[in-house]
Each structure stands twice: as C-alpha cells, then as structure tokens.
A and B are shown apart, each in its own frame.
Chain A
Amino acid sequence: MPRLHHFPGGIKLKGHKSESLVRGLQQASLPRQLFLPLKQHIGEHNKPLVDVGDRVLKGHMIASGSSLICAAIHAPTSGVISAIENFPVAHPSGQADTCIVIDVDDKDEAAVPVLPDLQQVDAERMIELICRAGIVGLGGAVFPTSPKLSRGKAQGIDTLIINGVECEPYITCDDSLMRNYAAEVLRGTGYLQRILRPQRTVIAIEDNKPEAIEKMTRAFAPSGLKDTEIVAIPTIYPSGGEKQLIQILTGKEVPHGQLAFDIGLFCQNVGTCVAITRALEQDQPLISRVVSISGDNIRQPGNWEVRLGTPIRHLIELAGGYLNGDSAHLVMGGPMMGFSLAGDQVPIVKASNNILVMREETIPHSPGYHDECIRCSKCTEVCPASLLPQQLYWHVRARAFDRAEEFHLFDCIECGCCSAVCPSTIPLVQYYRAAKSDIRAAQKAQIKSDHARIRFESRERRLLLKKQQEEERRRLKREALQKKKAGSTAPTVDPVQAALERVKARKQAAQEEST
C-alpha cells in the first residue's frame, strides 16, 4: 500500500451512485438505426470508408483517419449504410456533425475474427492492433490510445496508473464495469504492462465502491499480475482527474506544459483496459461501452452495455422512460463537468460514460442574474489547481484576458468546485470557459491575420525584388548597349568624313598633277 497524498482543495459531494446500481449491468437491445459520428475522439476527423447502400458486418471498419492522432470507427452490428449526412451529435455547442447511419438488420452478423498469437506478439504489434480497434481513453477525454502508448513506451514508464476512481456524482459505469469484468480489466492491465514495462502498477478505486474493490481484489490473485496493487483512495471530488490522481498516488505534480509520461507516469481508465483485452483476445474493435443512466427524471436508473451509435432516446426507453412529463434536461457526463445535450435523438459515442436525466426545475438556470463576488475566497479553498478563481473572475469579467492568463486561466481544469461553493452563485466555470474560447478564437484570428500579413509582406517583397531585378536587367542592357556603341565608334570612321577626305585627297592629287 503506497503512502497516499492530498491534492489541495476539492469538495465532498452527495454521490447519488446507489440509484443506478440497484440493478446489475444489462445488455441494451439494438435500435432500428445507429448513428455513428465520424469524430468520436480528440484529433482529426475520420473519413468514411463505406458508401450508402453498402452492407456491413459487425466489426467492419467503416471510417478511419490518416493522421497519427485518430481512432477508426467500426460497425457495431450488421446492417446497411442508409445515409452519411449531418445529424445532431453530443457536443457542447449543440452543433450537428457527419454521421454514418446503419439500418440495423437484427442479424448481428460478425466479421470473421483474425486472432493473433498473443504469446508471440510484441509491443509494436499490440499497439498496432489497439490502433486498428479504434480504442480511445474511455474515462471521458477520448484521446486515441495507440499514439499515447507509443509516446509512453518511447519515454519509458515508471508507474502505470489504472483509473477506476470515477469521482463524479451519479456516474457508475466504471463501478459496474469493474463489478462485472474485473478479470478483463486485469488482463488489459497485463497487456499494458507488456507494452510499457512499468516498474509498478497501481489500480486506484475510490473507497465508496466497496463491491468493485472486492470483485477486483478477488480477481487479482488468479490474474498473476506482478508489482501491482489495488489501492482504495478517499472519496473527494475531483480525485479522478488525471493530475489529481497522480498527486494522490505519487505526490508528484505534472509540470506546467508537460504530460504525465514526461515524468514517467501513464494513466489509463479501467474501461479502456477492457476494450484493449477484447481487441487483443477476440479481435473485437471498440463498438460498445458501458453507459450509466441516472438522474431525478428517469424511471429505472441503471447501467447498460450499449452499442455505439444508439440514440439516447432508445436508452431512455429501456430505462422505463421519463419519470415526469415527456422531456427532461439531458446531460452527457456528470453534473460537475458534463454538458447539456440538444435532445434525446443524439447518439451514444465513445465518450458517453453517463447520461444524466434531470427535471428542468432542478437544473440551475442560465445566469440571468447573480450576486456580486464578495471575495470570500471559498473558491480558492476548493480549487484543486491552487488558482485564485475570484481574481480570475474579476479579470475575465473586465475582459482583461492578458491578466487572466497571468493568473493561469489555462491551468483551470473546469472541475466546477468553485462554482459549486460560491455564495454569490456566480457560474465561475462558465465565465472561464467563455474566456478561454474567446482567447483561443482571438489566437486563431491572430494566427490567420499573421499569415495574411506575412503573405502580403512577402508578396510585396517579391514584387519589389522583381522590379529591382527588372531595373537591374534593364540597366545592364542599357550599359551593354552603350559599351557596344563606345567600342564600335573608336575604330570606325565616319563615312561622310571619309568621303570628304577622299574627295579632298583626290582634289589635292589633281592639283599636284596640274602644277
């Protein structure tokens, strides 16, 4: 058991975890149609590999990208591609994005798996297989796993951290996953160890999940994992944040501007471990995930293993529908860091850990009015990044963005602790998000205008150079001409003069003859 450390701040929140854990993990039925957004990860957009009318089998790759940071998309079941167009997707902006639509044929026919000899494959080959399976970090950040593994392997990893913390209220998908697939989590951990060769491995679980800890501990002995331990960490939000978890387990901080593997640490979510196990052992790409559905307006909160692309509406129907009325405020993720959805037609994607179904009344309403900041610094006390949220707010409100950056605006992890404790109920994080996006937009505009300026300046320079060259050329030509002229006049004799001289000579000769 390693010595545990504390991160500054944090808050204790009402868990609301038991609601969705009263029922065991259920397999969600297939909807009539699946909507698969082309981009379900951090990085570049994928390009579709199929056309409308194609029939695909479960596990077929239907979209992939060309850049390093990308994750392919696979058909979650068999069916026919019926459209590749814009549909509403889960995004904070509420914008639509291109989706591949599969008309499900209910046969659930799978492509023939090609199983590698797991005893023989080396780390590079494993990373390749993980890449081909379209695996991303399933804790919520959805960063493609294979490039992260390549970087981690190249840097050398001291400690591998498996994150089963799940600190946000209401979310229980990882808890449920560990209860049901403990052996797969541990086998996935083993594959990660084979790739990264860490000195030690820590599987961290918040101590409000005794059953998950017990199941994992029981599966631990037969797993044969070495230099590995399961650690129960105290329940305090946001202990599941990568930086906070690193601080709890190692006492280290990821230096500003660096990433975890720069200091020899590598974090991976428990869900990702299961996805890796299935990709390597069964050649099954990432086509489903565990999603918890909870909140005060859903009839039967619970956990479902859902095929990606399933509309949330289908999941809500499986969970018994809305408790009150026929609509709700839908949030993807937890109440602290999740975002509102445009509607229940939005599909489940790789990032969907939880769907929060809330009554409109229980959602704090848009900030039409809030009290002024009284500088009480309760926000400072709870900030896990040791920022001064009230100073940030002051500068952000004055749109003094340079000052806000000086006060480390971009070190804010948007955990929401400050907003939650503010006695003036100022939506602080909302102000910071808006400021960040304004600054990023300004930076983009600046880059664009810089580009334009550089292009303009180099064009001007080019034209000037051309003009100068032209002038130089003309000057040289002129000079050459003049030189030629000067050279030819020296030896040549003026013909008129010559004729005159000839006449003169003849006259002279005639005169001499006559005399």
Chain B
Amino acid sequence: MSSVFVSSPYVAPVNSLQRLMIQVIIALLPGTLTYAWLFGPGVLINIALACVFALLIEAVVLKLRDKPVMVHLTDLSAIVAAWLFALCLPMHSPWWLVLVGIGFTMIAGKHVYGGLGFNPFNPAMVGYVVLLISFPREMTTWYLPASVSGATLSLSEALAYSFGGVDIQQWDALSSATPLDQVKTGIGQQIAISDIRLSPVFGQFAGKGWEWISFAWLIGGLWLLLTRTIRWHIPVALLLGVVSMATVFYLLDMESYASPLFHLLSGAVIIGAFFIATDPVTAATTDRGRLAYGLMIGCLIYVIRVWGGYPDGVAFAVLLANMCVPFIDYYTQPRVYGEQ
C-alpha cells in the first residue's frame, strides 16, 4: 500500500511548458521562412547562433545556480527567447553582437531574477535594447529585400559576414535604412509622406518585403490563438492602440503622419502583438489587465515612433509596460464568485 499521500487531482497533466514552447516555435516558422526568402539566409544564421549561445549560457548559469540543467534546457524557453531576440537584429550581424545580446537576454534578462517565471522584463527585449543603445551603428545597418536590390547575400556570404571574414563595406550598396527609419527621417526634413513613399523601398502597404513578413507573423499569431497558446486580449488591445492613435493623427494631417495600415505592417508591431507582448511571464495576467497592458504598449509604440528618438518603439514600449504589470494586475482583479 502506498504510504505517501498525494493530494488530488489525480489526472495526468494536459499541458506542459515544452508543449507551449513548441507551439510558439511552430507559429514563428511562417514569418521566419518568409523573412529568409525575401531577405536572404542571414536571419537563419542569427537564429542558429542565438539558439546555440542561449543554450550554452543557460547550461552554465543553471550549473552555477545548482539547478537541474537538462530539465530546464528541454523546456525550450531559452530557444524561444533566443529566436525572438535574433529576429530583432539586423539580418546580417556579426557573431559577437549576437553573443553580447543573448548574454544580456539570458543573464541580465532572466537568470539574475531567478530564472524562468521570475523575470519582470521581457528577456529578449532586454538583450535587444542593450545592443540598440550600445552598438547603434551595427544595429541600424539593415539590408534591402531581393525585390529592391536585385540580390541578397548567399548563405556562404552571409556566414562570412557573420564571422567577420569579409569587409563590411563591400556590401554597402545593398544596405539601407528601414522603411520606418526613412519615414521618420523624411518627416524630420519636412518632406511630405506621399513624396517619401515614392522611394523604391515602399511596397503596397508599407516597406517592400516587410509587409509580407508582417502578414506571415499574423498567420503565426492566429495559430497561437487557435491553439489557445495565447489569449486574444493583448494582441487585440495592442493593435487597437496603434491603429487608433495612427488613425487620429492620420486624419488630422495625412502628409505628416503615416497611415494606420503603414504603422501596422511596418517594423515589429505584428510580431510584437502576438509573440513579444504575449510573453506570459512579463505580461499582465487578468483579462482586463491584459487589455490595459496591450493598449498601453500600442499607444507607446506610436508615441515613440512619431515623437521619440527611435524609428520603432516596440521594445521600449514592452519594457515600460512590464514595469506597470504588478500595478495593472493589482487593480484589475476579477470579481470573485459571490462578491458584490
């Protein structure tokens, strides 16, 4: 007879961390593949490097913290964080940039707080923001899609770039500011949006290539909703925040403010709404809180893009909202059964 008393429920678990993380990875595939298809294999190298570094760093830190290494490595949370971090980088980045960023992601973003579940800030965003502030040149060297420049770097060229085997100047002709950056710079120079949009980097709705990647993230996001990996509150509120801000200012002055659709499909809004802001550890936990949290990020993204110092604002908006989460959670508790 068993002498150990286990407490009910006695049903086999239906969910696991690993299963959740696998759903996120599956959802990342359409966007990632579209990205690689339009901009070349650089992004895949970034992801691979980030994943390897993340697993190595996590293994060492877990060992130092005297935690079971394999149990935590196989929950795949490090892979997801590394993947999202790698997607923030310019498509061609030197290996050391990836290493420094992922180091901050894993150590400063996650383990100094106690590991998975205890970090108040989105780890991938912590790593990305550290790089953005510390290495502005490397972090703003973006490349054009094949449809604009006519060519992208091949796998071997991209590898050589990552590992410093070639002179970066050699590819200067293919590099360019992002569409968001061009709009920001153009408006700063008093150029009308309709004139800025004449540049070949712009496509149907937003940046050429970028708009299709955004659609691919949307497909992944819908998959996450469909599998109930995430709930609808954060993405819907976030998109609503961006769209409502953009609509108001667009209607006020169409030549000085970009259209809502442009804002939605540029930069990291879609991936931010479905993949980054929905990181459960750092997001609000109540339904109403999630609406507030998403709305706050959406509005902040627009504010930073239009009046801030950076062309995109997803990372900063998410980190700022992370700070407010305990406050939001406390004041949005649901009404408990039987309470008046």
Query: Which residues of A come within 8 Å of B, CB atoms?
Result: 7-8, 13, 92, 94, 169, 243, 247, 253-258, 327, 329, 331, 333-340, 342-344, 356, 358, 360, 362-366, 369, 371-378, 380-381, 384-388, 390-391, 407-408, 411, 416, 419-425, 427, 429-430, 433
- C-alpha spacing A499/B205, complex, angstroms: 139
Let me know if A372 and B10 touch, CB within 8 A: no
Query: Chain B residues near A421 (CB, 8 Å)?
Result: 14-15
Query: Chain B residues near A342 (CB, 8 Å)?
Result: 1
Contact with A along B1-35 (1 / 0, CB 8 A): 11011111111111111011000000000000000
**A384: contacting residue among B1, B283, B337, CB under 8 A:** B337
Let me know if B13 and A422 touch, CB within 8 A: yes
Q: Is B334 an interface residue (CB 8 A)?
A: yes
- C-alpha spacing A358/B283, complex, angstroms: 39
Closest to B10 in A: A335
Q: What is the minimal beta-carbon distance from A373 to any residue of chain B, in angstroms? A: 5
Query: Chain B residues near A419 (CB, 8 Å)?
Result: 9
Query: Chain A residues near B13 (CB, 8 Å)?
Result: 364, 420, 422-423, 425
Q: Is B329 an interface residue (CB 8 A)?
A: yes
Q: Is B286 an interface residue (CB 8 A)?
A: yes
Contact with A along B184-214 (1 / 0, CB 8 A): 0000000000000000000000000000000
- Contacts A340-B2, A429-B9: A372 and B334 contacting too (C-beta < 8 A)? no
Query: Chain A residues near B5 (CB, 8 Å)?
Result: 92, 94, 339-340, 366
Q: Is B163 an interface residue (CB 8 A)?
A: no
Q: What is the minimal beta-carbon distance from B312 to any residue of chain A, in angstroms? A: 26
| Interface of chain A: mostly helix, strand, loop or mixed | loop
Contact with A along B65-86 (1 / 0, CB 8 A): 0001001000101000000000
Query: Chain A residues near B340 (CB, 8 Å)?
Result: 255-256
Query: Chain B residues near A254 (CB, 8 Å)?
Result: 338
Q: Is B165 an interface residue (CB 8 A)?
A: no
Let me know if B9 and A411 touch, CB within 8 A: no
Surface stretch bound by A, among B48-56, B111-119, B167-175, B297-305: B111-119
**B11: contacting residue among A255, A256, A335, CB under 8 A:** A335
Let me know if A336 and B117 touch, CB within 8 A: no
Query: Chain B residues near A422 (CB, 8 Å)?
Result: 13, 15
| Interface of chain B: mostly helix, strand, loop or mixed | loop
CB-CB contacts below 8 Å: B284-326 with A: 285-287
**A375: contacting residue among B6, B17, B115, B285, CB under 8 A:** B285
Let me know if A427 and B11 touch, CB within 8 A: no
Let me know if B116 and A372 touch, CB within 8 A: yes
Q: Is B336 an interface residue (CB 8 A)?
A: yes
Closest to B75 in A: A371
Let me know if A13 and B11 touch, CB within 8 A: yes
Interface centre among A366, A374, A386 (most CB of B within 10 A): A374
Q: Is B160 an interface residue (CB 8 A)?
A: no
Closest to B20 in A: A423
Query: Chain B residues near A371 (CB, 8 Å)?
Result: 17, 71, 75, 116-117
Let me know if A388 and B285 touch, CB within 8 A: yes
Q: What is the minimal beta-carbon distance from A313 to any residue of chain B, in angstroms? A: 11
Closest to A432 in B: B7
Query: Chain B residues near A377 (CB, 8 Å)?
Result: 231, 280, 285-286
- Contacts A327-B1, A375-B281: A386 and B71 contacting too (C-beta < 8 A)? no
Closest to B117 in A: A372
- Contacts A256-B339, A372-B116, A374-B281: A388 and B286 contacting too (C-beta < 8 A)? yes
Q: Is B147 an interface residue (CB 8 A)?
A: no
Query: Chain B residues near A336 (CB, 8 Å)?
Result: 8-11
Q: Is B335 an interface residue (CB 8 A)?
A: yes
- C-alpha spacing A385/B338, complex, angstroms: 8
Q: What is the minimal beta-carbon distance from A435 to any residue of chain B, in angstroms? A: 12
Query: Chain B residues near A420 (CB, 8 Å)?
Result: 9, 11, 13-14
- Contacts A256-B338, A385-B337: A369 and B71 contacting too (C-beta < 8 A)? yes
Which 6 pairs between the two chains have the least Cβ-Cβ distance?
Answer: A416-B9, A372-B117, A423-B15, A376-B280, A430-B7, A256-B338
Q: Is B154 an interface residue (CB 8 A)?
A: no
- C-alpha spacing A424/B4, complex, angstroms: 22
Q: Is B227 an interface residue (CB 8 A)?
A: no
Let me know if B1 and A343 touch, CB within 8 A: yes
Query: Chain B residues near A333 (CB, 8 Å)?
Result: 8
- C-alpha spacing A362/B10, complex, angstroms: 8
Let me know if B337 and A411 touch, CB within 8 A: yes
- C-alpha spacing A335/B6, complex, angstroms: 11
Contact with A along B205-235 (1 / 0, CB 8 A): 0000000000000000000000000010000
Let me know if B6 and A425 touch, CB within 8 A: no
Let me know if A390 and B285 touch, CB within 8 A: yes
Let me know if A362 and B12 touch, CB within 8 A: yes
Q: What is the minimal beta-carbon distance from A6 to any residue of chain B, in angstroms? A: 13
Closest to A334 in B: B8
Interface centre among B1, B19, B231 (most CB of A within 10 A): B1
A to B CB contacts below 8 Å, 6 in the list: A13-B11, A243-B338, A339-B5, A340-B7, A365-B6, A388-B286
Q: What is the minimal beta-carbon distance from A126 to any residue of chain B, in angstroms? A: 31
Closest to B335 in A: A386
Let me know if A411 and B336 touch, CB within 8 A: yes
Q: What is the minimal beta-carbon distance from A324 to any residue of chain B, in angstroms? A: 14
Query: Chain A residues near B337 (CB, 8 Å)?
Result: 7-8, 243, 247, 253, 384-386, 411
- C-alpha spacing A373/B4, complex, angstroms: 25
**A340: contacting residue among B6, B16, B75, B118, CB under 8 A:** B6
Let me know if B285 and A373 touch, CB within 8 A: no
Closest to A424 in B: B17
Contact with A along B113-146 (1 / 0, CB 8 A): 0011110000000000000000000000000000
**B7: contacting residue among A339, A386, A411, CB under 8 A:** A339
- C-alpha spacing A421/B19, complex, angstroms: 12
Closest to B330 in A: A391
Let me know if A331 and B10 touch, CB within 8 A: yes
Query: Chain B residues near A339 (CB, 8 Å)?
Result: 5, 7-8
- C-alpha spacing A243/B337, complex, angstroms: 9
Let me know if B17 and A363 touch, CB within 8 A: no
- C-alpha spacing A92/B4, complex, angstroms: 12
Query: Chain A residues near B71 (CB, 8 Å)?
Result: 369, 371
